[in-house]
Every structure is written in structure tokens, then in C-alpha cells.
Structure 1
Amino acid sequence: MKKIGFIGFGNMASAIALGIIDAKFLNANEIIAYDIDENKAEKMRSYHIDVAHDIDELIACSEFIFVGVKPQVVESVLDPYIQKLENKAIISIALGYDFDRYQTFLDDSTRHIFVMPNTPVRVLQGMSLIEEKHSLKDQEFEFVKNMFSAIGQVEVVSSHLMSTAGTLSGCGPAFVYMIIEALADGAVKEGVPREMAYTLASQTLMGAAKMQLETHLHPGVLKDQVCSPGGSTICGVEALEDGKLRATLISAISAAVHYQEKK
């Protein structure tokens, strides 16, 4: 019996699987996966993860069933296996498939939980939101919480906040990568070599983020600590304010949230 069977092995599911292996939370031989894409199957084999011949086999030999397919195909993928999923435990990362939505088509005996992770789980620095409302047994819930804690930070979140909070942590890495790229471009413009600029920008963001997490100081206070009167930093802050950086980032979160509401 495998501990987890992954249905779908796309970017997010594979990041989680490889993250928990790297974190030594599970061994590769405790995981099995299935994907219709043979290239993804080859990727699984390269990491010594067993590949199921079909979903029937995966369900039969897995303690937890991990749903990692695209939201638009969740029900068409699972519908043929509703009976086989009876008395099984499901971990789902499919956006929009929260507890209440799964209740509409799964058997009452099928236990399930909705988790919204982000891609930095691959380097054990993820931010994963676990829906507070679920039907797992206590020991199953602890397993899920411990698994995602092994690959980053975890927050247990009320159902009504999952969409907005998940937008921040899920879409946020893309926004941060754009900030890293822009900061590096600015340094390159002034003569810094490209690879050095990426290192400086990435490490600076990582260090600043860690400082806020560990000190719990308001970001504005930490910003003020860097800004000497009449110095270069406050001049840069003025340029960011002129460019409406904060307003633009706020708008980015709102745009992503409202897009999801339309789906």
C-alpha cells in the first residue's frame, strides 16, 4: 500500500511530491502517480516514483488520493471512480473545489480536504492554506498538516477566506518574480552583470521577507529603518510612490481574486 497516489502530475503536484521527498517526509517508494501525459510519467520514473497503469490501480493501492488535475476536469476524471473512492481520503489542490463543492458529488463516506499550496514548496519554502472545513479523521488531518509543514509554512483558513488568501500566496510568487526581474534590470542598467543582479535581487527579497517573519515588525517600520534622512533609499521610495507600486500590487491581487470569482 502506497501512502499517497497522485492523480495528475503537473507543475504543482510534482513540486509537492518532489518537495516531500527532498524533505524526507516520505520516500519515493511510498508514492505512486498517474498522468495521461507520458512525458510526465517519465519524469516520475526519473525520481523513482512508481507509475500506475490507470486510476483504478492508483486508488486501490493508495491510502490518500491526491487530486492534482486542472479544475475544469476534476468531475469528469473522478466521476467514473465515485464508488471506488468510498471510504478513501482525498487531498485536493484543484482551485474552486472546496469542501462544499466536493460534497455535491462524492459519496458521503469519502473523506476530503482542500489545500492551496504554492510553487515554492519545491524548495521547501511553500505557503500552503488548508481549508478549516474538512471530513478527514483526526490522524489524517495531522498527516496532511505535517506533510505541508515539511515543505513550508501552513495556515488553516476559514472557507470564506480561502479564495482571497490563496490568491495572495498562490499568485504572489509570479508577482514577486516580476519584482525580482525589475530590480535586477535596474541594476543591469547601471552596469551590474545580469547573473549578479538576479542573485542580489533574489537574496535581498528573501532576506527582507525573513526579517519581517521573524521580527513581526510592521513592514512600514522595517522600511523606515532603511531610509536615512535625505539618503538614497528614500529617493528610491519616492520613485516607487510616483510609479504607484503599492496601488498596482493591490490592484493585482484584486484583479486575480475577481477573475476567480467569475470562473
Structure 2
Amino acid sequence: MKKLGFIGMGNMASAILLGAVKSGFLKGEETIAYDPNDSKLNGLNRECGMAKATSIPDVIDNSEMILLAVKPKNVENILSENRDQLKNRTLLSVAAGWQYNRFRRFLDISTHICAIMPNTPAMVGEGMSIIEATNDLSPKEMVFTRQLFAALGQVEELSSDLMGIGGTLSGCAPAWVFMMIEALADGAVYYGLPRDIAYRLASQTVLGSGKMVRDTGMHPGKLKDDVCSPGGITIRGVKALEEGGLRIAMMNAMDAAYKKPD
């Protein structure tokens, strides 16, 4: 019996598997996975020793815990087709838009369920994963789950009513930050800095700034003030950003993403 089985091995599931193996939390041979893309499974098998399953039932039968990592539109069919096999089993899910109450409509009461929302920076070990507080995990299973996703970055637990807005922030904001990095680099390229260097400077600056906010616990406004000398160049840039509506643009982006109609 494997410690963790994967249903679906796309980019996120691969990041979870490789992150857990590289951190030493799991050994590749302690995992098993199924995906219709056999070449994907072959590659991961060669890279970390993960076992290849022949079907979804094969994963369920041979795993202590199962991680569902398929496209959201495929979840309902998988749950319906494997409802009986999932009885008395533990199912973790990273499928977007699927939370505890929605899963509960399709699965037997004996199935333990927990929804997790990771984001793409998990692929480089700097992810933000949100665990839904409403779940059926035993204390031992919760420890395993938190340690699994801690191998990919930071972990936060949120109540069900906050999963949507929390997932919007951590899940969508990487795209907006990438746009910021691109724009910062463009501004430097305009004045002659080579683009590859501009991207390195901008990305490391964003990474370091985020780490300062997280690790110091200081208010981001205070950290901003510390960089702004009176009459200096940074405060001039702050003024330009305020005139350009940076804050309201970010808030509007959150609003637009969170309120997207189903």
C-alpha cells in the first residue's frame, strides 16, 4: 500500500509529488499515480520512482490517501464512477471550485474529504496552499496533509466561507505579479538595461519584498515608508503610481476575479 496516490498528474500534481520527494517528506516509491498521458507517468517514474497505476480504481485500491488533481469539469464523473471504491477512504483534492459541501453531495459519508487550494509558485517551492477548515481528516491525516503542502511553501487554513476570496488572492495574484515584473522590466529596458538582467532584478526584488513582509510581520506601508527618503526618487515613483491608480487597479482585479459568474 502506497502512502499517497494521485489521480491526474498535470503540472500541479507533478509539483506536489516532486516537492514532497525533494524535501524528503516522501520517497518516490511511496507514491502511485494514474493519468491518461502515459508519457507523463513514465517521466515521473524515471525521475523519482513513482509507481504507475493502470486505472483510477488501481490508485484507490493501492493508496492510504488519494489526491485528486484533475480538471474541475472531470471531477463529478470521477466521483460518481468511483463512489463505492472511495468508501472508507481519504480523498484530498486540489480541483478548483470544489469544496467540502460540494464533494459531500457525491460521496458516501464514510469518505474522508479535504479540499486544498495551492497556487502555481508551488512548482518552485514558494507556493501558498489553503486548506479548508471544514473536512473529515483525522488528526494524523491532517498532520500528513499540512506537511505535504508545507513541502511546497506556506500553508494556511481558512473557513469554508473564506476559501473563495482566499483562493482568488493566492490563486490569481501570481498572474498580476508577473505582469508587474514584466512592466518593471520594460521600464528598465526603455533606459537601456538588457532584458534578461531586468527580469532577474525585478523578480528578485519582488521575491525579497514579499519575504520582508512575511518574515518581519511589519505593515507593508511602514516598509514602503522606510524606502522613501523625503524628496527622494522613490517617493516620486510612489506619487506616479498613485496617480496611475495602482491600488484601485489591484482592488478592482480582485473584485473582478472574485465576482466572476459561475
Q: What is the TM-score normalised by the length of structure 2?
A: 0.96
The residue that corresponds to 1:80 in the other structure is 81
Q: Give yes or no for the alignment of 1:189 onto 2:203.
A: no
Give the alignment of 1:23-102 within 5 angstroms.
Answer: 23-47=23-47, 48-102=49-103
Structure 1 ranges of 4+ moved more than 6 A? none
**How far apart are residue 37 of structure 1 and its match?**
2.1
Mapping of residues 151-170 of structure 1, within 5 Å: 151-170=152-171
CA distance in 1, matches of 2:162, 2:79: 26
**Counterpart in 2 of 1:172?**
173
Q: What is the one-letter code of the residue matched to 1:25?
A: F
Runs of 5+ unmatched residues, structure 2: none
The number of residues matched between the two structures is 261
> SS of 1:79's equivalent?
helix
Tell me, what secondary structure is at the counterpart of 2:109? coil
- The structural deviation recorded for 1:15 is 1.3
Match of 2:207 in 1: 206
Partner deviation per Cα, 1:209-236 (whole Å, 9 max, x = no partner): 1111122111111111111111111111
Q: Matched residues in 1 for 2:38 and 2:179: separation?
A: 32
* Alignment check: 8 A CA contact 2:124 2:152 kept: yes
- 1:250 deviation in Å? 0.9
User: How far does the alpha carbon of each residue in 1:44-82 deviate from its partner, in whole angstroms, 9 at most, with x for none?
Assistant: 233232221111111111111101011111011221111
Contact in 2 for aligned 1:130/1:156 (Cα 8 Å): yes
Does structure 1 retain, via aligned residues, the 8 Å contact 2:126–2:154? yes
Q: Distance in 1 between matches of 2:216 and 2:180?
A: 23
SS of residue in 1 equivalent to 2:113? strand
Deviation at 1:42, TM superposition (A): 3.3
Q: For residue 10 of structure 1, what is the aligned residue in structure 2?
A: 10
Give unpaired runs (5+ residues) of structure 1.
none
Is residue 103 of structure 1 aligned with residue 104 of structure 2? Answer: yes
Structure 2 contact 168–254 (Cα < 8 Å) conserved: yes
Match of 2:129 in 1: 128
Q: Is the 8 A contact 1:33 1:44 kept in 2?
A: no
Q: Quick check: 2:7–2:67 contact (8 Å CA) kept in 1?
A: yes
Q: Which residue of 2 aligns with 1:223?
A: 224
How many angstroms apart in 2 are the aligned matches of 1:41 and 1:116? 23
Whole-angstrom distance in 1 between the partners of 2:118 and 2:241: 30
Q: Deviations over 1:159-186 (max 9, x none)?
A: 0000101110111111111111111111
Q: What TM-score, normalized by structure 1, do the two folds share?
A: 0.96
Contact 1:115/1:129, CA 8 A, preserved across alignment: yes
Amino acid at match of 1:46: R
Q: Distance in 2 between matches of 1:177 and 1:42?
A: 32
